[in-house]
Chains A and B, each alone.
Chain A
């Protein structure tokens, strides 16, 4: 009886199976098109000038180092915010909060994940950056730090939901065992629950960082977009430019097929590979929960 009874069922089953593989097809297609448009870079621009500190496409300087350091410093700042606050919130929701509080907090965090990044960038320009400029006495409020603050907020929902899933999946017996031995709830959280959920929490951190590296609109709007090398910690308080913002800001103005066009695709390729590595490592971590896939996306 399991076999298809008629041709209609046969066709539908085939279509469903084909759809099942669509995700694989799209990942391959994306990679193929990035390679196709990005790889010519390597023959058009010398590797030494590609790994240079000067990004000035109009005069054919395509050094991508300032863009990479820009992305790194902003993501680093964002992680400093998103990791403690994300894990703290996850611990609160999963271990401490009363039920009614949990019912309020979870949708709110989900809501933050759904806020369009362009709205956060908009508020960053109008509210946050003027405030930071005065508070920190800077020449401009459009700095890497402003970007990090907002990006931290964007990465938080990812960290919270994945970390909370990890904490939830720790068997209740572990906690009960610790309580029975006389540990307080607080001690149980730190010595039993969090260590037991370690790999899941690590996954949460990685996915949060991945989310931050890939964010585009917010960083493009609030970081000042100056392609200068960010080598010191002090660079956090000056304008920088990320890889994502460079693509978004310049792709609209280049001629298709030009060197500049190819270099922008090359940067896209680098971003694709970074997210591939982050996600492959994150998904190979032992922690497996049925809900996880959904949470990654929310």
Chain B
């Protein structure tokens, strides 16, 4: 009897494990499939002219250079605002803040910022940057909007990286006569750098792929030339993909897949860099 029961239990376990394994595979395989599918479908569209040319014939021919450059500008613009602010906020939370009501309020605010729908960021950017501060539909307004959206990612990953630096490092540095800021700058920040970098790149990766926040703050349907200043609107890869897959009739499918491929490569490269930095740092870490 006991023997039967125990065999039964183990059959249940084997079935259960297989079921869960199948579920995990069903979750992960479509991701791999999606990426491979776009690589295969879009591959034939990629050419020198596609990467370096301007769109023509109502975007049904030519390249996507302005969209690529635009996404680069937006990513850099986002980094300029969100990286210093995010790291400073993380330093505050990890090195200065005590566990008070105010600190808890900050943490709550960060979690809430992370949860706000991207299109609501778009509305906010329109209300504050485009209309109230009169930046117009511009790279500046779009970058600022994306920065605020990216901020919670950078703050929380950077804070975790800073906190993982052992307390002893700080104690020793202070006891050698360094000031608090010297300790943070020369010891803590240096040790936490790979972790912070990973967070920054993952945050910017998200910003680069977003469409909704830039819809009414900086994205342009089509521009015959590259943007000349931060106050110009710009084309961008995600918005361009949206436009050519929904708004332009008789759009050649090759160009659509090609654009999706370029966007995907852009995002995946950032993801890959972040992953490499993280695993290198883990392998090298001595504490």
Q: Contact: B17 with A126, CB < 8 Å?
A: no
Q: In the complex, which residues of chain A have a beta carbon less than 8 angstroms from the beta carbon of B122?
A: 247-248, 251
Q: Contact: A251 with B123, CB < 8 Å?
A: yes
Is the C-beta of B177 less than 8 angstroms from some C-beta in chain A?
A: yes
Query: In the complex, which residues 17-71 of chain A have their Cβ closer than 8 Å to any Cβ of chain B?
Result: 17, 19-24, 26-27, 29-30, 33-34, 36-37
Contacts A9-B181, A248-B212, A283-B108 given; indicate if A210 touches B115 (C-beta within 8 A): yes
Contacts A34-B124, A125-B245 given; indicate if A294 touches B160 (C-beta within 8 A): yes
Is the C-beta of B171 less than 8 angstroms from some C-beta in chain A?
A: no
- Give the docked Cα–Cα distance between A160 and B181 (Å): 38
* Cβ contact of A186, chosen from B13, B34, B205, B245, cutoff 8 A: B13
Contacts A20-B88, A119-B241, A126-B245 given; indicate if A13 touches B181 (C-beta within 8 A): yes
Q: Contact: B127 with A297, CB < 8 Å?
A: no
Nearest-Cβ distance from residue B223 to partner chain A, whole angstroms: 16
* Cβ contact of B119, chosen from A22, A91, A111, A247, cutoff 8 A: A247
Q: Contact: A116 with B263, CB < 8 Å?
A: yes
Q: Contact: A92 with B114, CB < 8 Å?
A: no
Is the C-beta of B146 less than 8 angstroms from some C-beta in chain A?
A: no
Nearest CB to that of A90 among chain B residues? B24
Q: Contact: B21 with A92, CB < 8 Å?
A: yes
Q: Contact: A214 with B31, CB < 8 Å?
A: no
Q: Which of B61-69, B72-80, B225-233, B267-275 binds A? A: B267-275
Q: Which of A86, A119, A248, A298 has the most CB of B within 10 A?
A: A119
Q: In the complex, which residues of chain A have a beta carbon less than 8 angstroms from the beta carbon of B153?
A: 297-298
Is the C-beta of B168 less than 8 angstroms from some C-beta in chain A?
A: no
Q: Contact: B120 with A264, CB < 8 Å?
A: no
Q: In the complex, which residues of chain A have a beta carbon less than 8 angstroms from the beta carbon of B267?
A: 114-116
- Give the docked Cα–Cα distance between A279 and B238 (Å): 28
Nearest-Cβ distance from residue B193 to partner chain A, whole angstroms: 17
- Give the docked Cα–Cα distance between A68 and B91 (Å): 40
Query: In the complex, which residues 198-240 of chain B have their Cβ closer than 8 Å to any Cβ of chain A?
Result: 199, 202-203, 205-206, 208-212, 215-216, 238-239
Q: In the complex, which residues of chain B have a beta carbon less than 8 angstroms from the beta carbon of A37?
A: 123, 127
Is the C-beta of A258 less than 8 angstroms from some C-beta in chain B?
A: no
Interface 1/0 per residue, B8-42 and A, CB below 8 Å? 01101100110011011011101110110110000
Q: In the complex, which residues of chain A have a beta carbon less than 8 angstroms from the beta carbon of B92?
A: 16-17, 19-20
Q: In the complex, which residues of chain B have a beta carbon less than 8 angstroms from the beta carbon of A84?
A: 23
- Give the docked Cα–Cα distance between A117 and B267 (Å): 12
Q: Contact: A248 with B215, CB < 8 Å?
A: yes
Nearest CB to that of A92 among chain B residues? B24
Is the C-beta of A141 less than 8 angstroms from some C-beta in chain B?
A: no
Query: In the complex, which residues 100-124 of chain B have their Cβ closer than 8 Å to any Cβ of chain A?
Result: 105-124
Q: Contact: A290 with B160, CB < 8 Å?
A: yes
* Cβ contact of A214, chosen from B23, B117, B199, B241, cutoff 8 A: B117
Q: In the complex, which residues of chain B have a beta carbon less than 8 angstroms from the beta carbon of A33?
A: 123-124, 127-128, 132
Nearest CB to that of A12 among chain B residues? B181
Q: Contact: A186 with B17, CB < 8 Å?
A: yes
Query: In the complex, which residues 242-298 of chain A have their Cβ closer than 8 Å to any Cβ of chain B?
Result: 244, 247-248, 251-252, 256, 264-265, 268, 271-272, 275-276, 278-280, 282-283, 290-291, 293-294, 296-298
Q: In the complex, which residues of chain B have a beta carbon less than 8 angstroms from the beta carbon of A29?
A: 124, 128
Q: Contact: A126 with B253, CB < 8 Å?
A: yes
Contacts A36-B127, A105-B24, A114-B205 given; indicate if A26 touches B211 (C-beta within 8 A): no
Q: In the complex, which residues of chain B have a beta carbon less than 8 angstroms from the beta carbon of A138?
A: none
* Cβ contact of B111, chosen from A112, A114, A296, cutoff 8 A: A296
Is the C-beta of A15 less than 8 angstroms from some C-beta in chain B?
A: yes
* Cβ contact of B38, chosen from A114, A119, A271, A290, cutoff 8 A: A119
- Give the docked Cα–Cα distance between A108 and B30 (Å): 11
Q: In the complex, which residues of chain B have a beta carbon less than 8 angstroms from the beta carbon of A216?
A: 117-119, 211-212
Contacts A184-B10, A214-B120, A251-B215 given; indicate if A297 touches B156 (C-beta within 8 A): yes
Q: A268-B119, A268-B123 are in contact. List 4 more A-B contacts (CB 8 A).
A: A2-B174, A111-B271, A210-B115, A297-B114
